[in-house]
Amino acid sequence: MALLEILQSSLVPAIILSGAGLISLSLQNRYGRVIDRIRAFHYEMLRKDKASKFAEEQLDILIRRGRLLRNSMTAMLLCILFAVLTTILLLFHSIFSINAFIILLFFFISLLSLFLAMIFAVIEIFISYDAVIKEDEAVRG
């Protein structure tokens, strides 16, 4: 396999790496905000020695969102891992002529992980909006 062919075949995993890295950064920021909000609720509950029904509902929603974001980030990092492995295996394929099925399998796992990460992220977005609506209803009374 010529050098140009190797570079061309590794272009798709490299693009996936770039996109997944940007999405991962966004997910980590969302996750950090959810965790900070959970800690703020915990601090407020400890300070008052009791929790209001509203605070408990919001805390339950935040914990659910945190779990979804954790799952999304895990799947995204697996996507990145398998995209890197795909790129490395493409290089090994050109040098040692390893089985192409393994490369395709790793690439498929990378795309499947990306898909799962996006599903978890979309679910979290809908839950976060529902939480804001509940908060608005509680504030407006």
pLDDT digits (tens, 9 = 90+) for 105-138: 999 999 999 999 999 999 999 999 988 898 888 8
In the chain, the amino acid numbered 128 is S
Residue 107, in any domain of the structure: yes
Which of the four pLDDT bands, split at 50, 70 and 90, describes residue 44? Answer: confident
Among 28, 9, 124, 32, smallest CA distance to 77 is for 28
- State pTM to two decimals: 0.86
Distance of CA 36 to the CA centre of its chain: 18
Residue 97, in any domain of the structure: yes
Instruction: Using the predicted structure, report yes or no on whether residue 103 has a pLDDT greater than 80.
Output: yes
Residue 1, in any domain of the structure: no
Residue 117, in any domain of the structure: yes
Q: What share of the chain is helix, strand, coil (3-state, %, to 5)?
A: 90, 0, 10
Residue 3, in any domain of the structure: no
Count of domains in the chain? 1
- 87: containing domain: 10-140
Residue 19, in any domain of the structure: yes
Give the model's pLDDT for residue 70. 97
Burial class (CB in 10 A: 0-12, 13-18, 19+), 60: exposed
